[in-house]
Amino acid sequence: MNPITIIDYGLSNLLSVQRAFEHFGAAVKLARSPDEVFAAKALVLPGVGAFRDGMQGLRKLDLVEPIRQKAAQGTPLLGICLGMQMLFEESEEFGRWEGLGLIPGRVVRIPDTDAEGRAQRVPQVGWNRLLPAGGKQDFDRSLLEGIRRGEEVYFVHSYEAKPTNPADLLAVTVYGGRRICAVARRGSVTGCQFHPEKSGRVGLNVIRALIEAAG
Amino acid sequence: MADKIRLIARLEVKNDYLVKGIQLEGLRKLGDPHDFAKEYYEAGIDEILYLDIVASLYNRNNLSHILRRTTEDIFIPITVGGGLRTLEDVHAVLAQGADKVAINTAAIKNPELITQVAQAYGSQCMVLSIQAKRRRDAEGWEAYYDNGREHSGLDVVTWARRGVALGAGEILLTSVDREGLGRGMEDELIRQVADAVPVPVIAAGGAGSAGDIAAAAKAGAAAVALSSLLHYRRTSVGELKQALIGQGVEVRR
């Protein structure tokens, strides 16, 4: 079993993510340098907090190019929550900020009103359903394999990703009557807006799938 | 989306033991909190709430090794409360694997802490815990602290509203009068607080059946915190969910 490399850029609480991989017997390495990223068999980009701070954290450690190169080489990469949003080209959180650009699209604020114009709560906090999207009927041959449509996972977020290509949309959830990108995927890069490490049995499917993808 | 009621297991901890009292008094030792939490997790509980109930007497939160074990095999949101006085205390429990903090005493003594936590970690992380006792001499409820021992003079509904304005993302509302009795929740209190604030209200105190939970949901609770009902094995998480679905209350399946 290859180790899982979690990118540690100082912003997020890694412990729960790390424990979830260890739960299945995987060894976890923390990467804080380009060499550690280059050596990875599978990468996890976790994150909570603001987009700008996250990207600045990656830049300060010179990790942006190494992550891009690893993704281009086909190394499995899982972004979680803010880490998922940073996979996209740019975010409008507190201005306009450039992301990793691994999945075409942008990150925008969840509207303050629902589909019928009534005030809704932002952030979305809580359990919500995963539904196949982008023309897919199920989650086969993805990191969501084994999850059934409609199973619930745990979200905490104020911003949502909008993939440009429908084919990159793997799963949506419905909040306030609108579809929100729950999981985006392009090649070996997968981003989960929800927290697989906090979503019980369903979330652990994703953790185990990445361990398998790591070889 | 129809709102689902969240079921939260509330584990009060004293010196490494899960304890339970009645109206926050007369504590009984029930066992290892982690064993209980793990059982609830595996049965499908939505969140875990750990409260170190002696922490505020000693000015420190002592849940670190329970939290460490929790992160190893419980993978749902964890809230920690009890004795959190400063931003550093909050940072420490978050670094140990908690997702949210519940603060009562320190929020009453230093309301600015609510804002500090919300700004540093987001309002979704800051749960304002309110221990409510019905006033004997007047209408309404008063907020208590130090585990129901000290009264603040604050009206519960006013305090809840102010706490949310300061940055609280959820209210953990415990009816001290109903707590530990299992004879129903204080629905009027739940209704008044839920109507007053735009954030989720977690109702605690008195749930003895699925019917009590359904009534709290109807009164506006977004979540219910359960302790005696589960700890004394009067029902299981699975049975409870089935019963709630039977009564038309949506839960996570």
Q: Catalytic: which of A145, A152, A195, A212? A: A195
The pLDDT-based confidence of B1 (bands split at 50, 70, 90) is very low
Please tell me the distance from the alpha carbon of residue B55 to that of residue B211, in angstroms, as a whole number. Answer: 33
Pick from A17, A156, A174 the residue to mutate for testing the B interface (most B CBs within 10 Å).
A156
Contact A42, A6 (CB under 8 A): no
**Which has the minimum average pLDDT: A196-200, B102-106, B136-140?**
B136-140
Give the model confidence (pLDDT) of A90-144 as tens digits: 999 888 999 999 999 999 999 999 999 998 888 898 999 999 998 889 999 999 9
C-alpha angle with apex B113: B107 to B116, nearest 5 degrees?
150
Please tell me the distance from the alpha carbon of residue B240 to that of residue B235, in angstroms, as a whole number. Answer: 7
Residue range B74-80: average pLDDT? 97
Contact B208, B231 (CB under 8 A): no
Interface pTM, i.e. ipTM: 0.92
Residue range B172-176: average pLDDT? 97
**Which has the minimum average pLDDT: A8-12, A88-92, A173-177, B144-148?**
A8-12
pLDDT at B108: 98
**For chain A, which residues make up each domain, given as ranges?**
4-214
Which element (helix H / strand E) includes B48? strand B47-52
A140 touching chain B per CB within 8 A: no
Residue range B61-76: average pLDDT? 90
Please tell me the distance from the alpha carbon of residue B33 to that of residue B13, in angstroms, as a whole number. Answer: 7
Q: A22 and B71: CB-CB below 8 Å?
A: no
pLDDT at B21: 87
Give the fold, CATH level 3, of A4-214. Rossmann fold (3.40.50)
**Which has the minimum average pLDDT: A72-76, A179-183, B52-56, B248-252?**
B52-56
The nearest alpha carbon in chain A to B78 belongs to A198
Q: B6 and A48: CB-CB below 8 Å?
A: no
Average pLDDT, chain B: 93
A123: cis peptide before it, omega within 30°?
yes
Of the partner residues A22, A127, A175, the one whose CB lies closest to the CB of residue B46: A127
> Residue B69: is it exposed, middle or buried by C-beta count within 10 angstroms (0-12/13-18/19+)?
middle
**B6-246 maps to which CATH number?**
3.20.20.70
pLDDT at A95: 87
Give the model confidence (pLDDT) of B187-207 as tens digits: 999 999 999 999 999 999 999
Residues B13-39 as b/e (b if ≥16 CB within 10 A, e otherwise) read bbeeebbbbeebeebeebeebbebbbe
Residue B55 pLDDT > 90, yes or no? Answer: no
Please tell me the distance from the alpha carbon of residue A81 to that of residue A181, in angstroms, as a whole number. Answer: 11
**For chain B, which residues make up each domain, given as ranges?**
6-246
C-alpha angle with apex A150: A146 to A156, nearest 5 degrees?
95
Please tell me the distance from the alpha carbon of residue A111 to that of residue A101, in angstroms, as a whole number. Answer: 23
**Which has the minimum average pLDDT: A8-17, B145-154, B173-182?**
A8-17
* Residues across chain B: 253
Residue B57 pLDDT > 70, yes or no? Answer: no
Helix axes B156-166, B112-121, angle to 10 degrees: 40
Residue B60 pLDDT > 70, yes or no? Answer: no
Please tell me the distance from the alpha carbon of residue B104 to that of residue B127, in angstroms, as a whole number. Answer: 9
Say what the pTM is.
0.93
Average pLDDT, chain A: 95
